[in-house]
Amino acid sequence: MATDRADRFSAGEQGLGYLYQPRFALLQILQLPEETSVFVEKDDDLDFVDVNGRKTLGSLKHKAQGERLTNLSTDFWKSVRIWLTRYKDSGRIESTHRFYLFTTNEVAETSFLRQLLPTAIVPAADDPPFISLADAALAETKSELIQKIANDLRALSEAEQIDFWMRITIFDRVPRIDDIPGLIKNRHMRAIRREYRDSVFERLEGWWHDIVLALLTGKRSLPIYGYEVSDMLTAFADEYKADNLPITFRGKVPDGEIDSDNDDRLFVKQLREIGISSARIRNAILDYYRAYEQRSAWAREHLLVSGELEEYEDRLEDEWSRYRDVVFETLDQEGAESVLREAGRRLYQWADLESGNISSLRIRERVTEPYVVRGCFHILANITPLPRIYWHPLFLKRLRELLAVNA
C-alpha cells in the first residue's frame, strides 16, 4: 500500500519537467535561425521571438512513458488557459502570437486534437468545423477547471475563436530529456571530432544552465539569442583542435580554506625559503591547484598525445635551468643568506610574472592561460624526494644533506 501511495504522489515527472525546460530550449534554439531569442518562464514555459518580433509561446509537457493526450487532458487545457490570457492581452485578432504545445505524449487517435498536429490532414469541406469538435469535447467534461476555460473560450466572438484555434500547434512525441544530448551532438556537432563531442556538450550545457539561471533570477534582463549559443559552441569546439586545449579551471578554487602559512607541501616550503609573502604563496597554491586539476582533466578526456606532458615538463625545466644559470652566474654561494634569498626571489619572479607570456613555454601554441605554466613550475617544484625545480640557490644541497641525515 505504501508503494502505491509513493507511486501515486511521486514528483519524479514533475522534477524532470523543470530540468527538461532548459535542455529542450537549448535544442530548439540550435534549430532556429540565429536571430531568434528565447525567454524561459516568462509568458509561458518558453517564449521564442523571431527577428520580426513575432512571439511563439511554448508549453512543455514531459510525461511518463505510454501516456496519451486526449480531448480532456488537463495538460492541454491548462496551456489553453495561459494562451487565452496572452491572446487577449496582445490584441486578439491583431496579435502576432503563436501557441505551441510540445509534449512527449502521443495525441490519441480518436482525439480532435490531432487536427492541431503539424502533419494534420486538411479537413474536407463537409467535415465538422474545429470549433464544433472542441465544443462537443468540452460538453463532456465535469472538470470545474476545464468548464471555466470553456466559458472563457465562448466569451470570444466566433471569428476570435477561429483565429485563436488556428494559432495553436501541437508537437507530440518530442524528444525526451535523455534523448536530447544525443540529438544535439549528432545534428549540431558534426564539425567536432566524435571523441570530443561529449566534452563539448558538457561545456555547452554548463554554460547554458548558468545563463538560464541568470535569466530566471533577474541577473539578466535580455533574452538569450541563438547567435550567442552558436558563438559559444564554436569557442568550445575551437579548444579541442590540434593547437589548443580546453581551459576549464580558470577562477576555480580548491575545496576548503587555503592555509598558506601552514601548508607543508614541498613547493610551498620552497617559497617560504626565499621569503615570499603569504598572499603570493596563496596565489601559487591556486596556480598549482588549477594546473594540476587541468592536466588531470586533459588526461581523463584523452586530449594529450603520448609523451606530450613529459616533453612539456622537460621544456619547462630546460628553460628554468637557463634562466637559473643567468641569475646565479656571479653568485657567491658562500655569501650572506639575504643575498641568496634575493637571487631566489629573482628567479621565482621570472617564473611567476614573466613565464606565462613566453610563447615557447606553452604546452600548445594557443594555450595562453598563465596558470598552466606557473602551476606546472610548482608541480615540478613539488616532486619528492628531490624537486626538478628550485628557487633558493642552496635548497637542493640542503635537502640532500637533510635526506642523508634521515636515511
- ω into residue 22 within 30 of 0, thus cis? no
> How much is the pLDDT for 129?
81
Torsion-angle region of 48 (φ positive above 0: left; ψ -120 to 50: alpha; else: beta): beta
> How much is the pLDDT for 124?
58
Helix H or strand E segment including 49? strand 46-49
Which pLDDT band holds residue 5 (cuts at 50, 70, 90)? very low
Torsion-angle region of 92 (φ positive above 0: left; ψ -120 to 50: alpha; else: beta): left
Say what percent of the chain tops pLDDT 90.
Answer: 83
Name every residue whose Cβ is closer than 8 Å to that of residue 310 and which is 6 or more positions away in sequence.
Answer: none
Pairwise CA distance, residues 286 & 250, whole Å: 10
Q: Take residue 132 and report the three cell numbers written for it.
A: 464544433
Mean pLDDT value across the chain? 92
Tell whether the model's pLDDT for residue 191 goes beyond 60: yes
Tell whether the model's pLDDT for residue 291 goes beyond 60: yes
Name every residue whose Cβ is closer than 8 Å to that of residue 135 and which is 6 or more positions away in sequence.
Answer: 150
Which pLDDT band holds residue 8 (cuts at 50, 70, 90)? very low
Pairwise CA distance, residues 135 & 129, whole Å: 10
Query: Looking at residues 305-317, what average pLDDT do you find?
Result: 96
Min mean pLDDT across 246-255, 310-319, 395-404 is at 395-404
Query: Looking at residues 366-381, what average pLDDT do you find?
Result: 97
Say what percent of the chain tops pLDDT 70.
Answer: 95
Cα–Cα distance list, 376 to 2, 70, 147, 314, 384 (Å): 57, 62, 69, 11, 15
Cα–Cα distance list, 79 to 50, 169, 353 (Å): 21, 12, 59
Residue with cell 462537443: 136
Give the tens place of pLDDT for each residue, 111-157: 999 999 998 877 655 567 888 888 888 888 888 999 999 999 999 99
Query: Looking at residues 71-99, what average pLDDT do you find?
Result: 95
Give the tens place of pLDDT for each residue, 228-259: 999 999 999 999 999 999 999 999 999 989 99
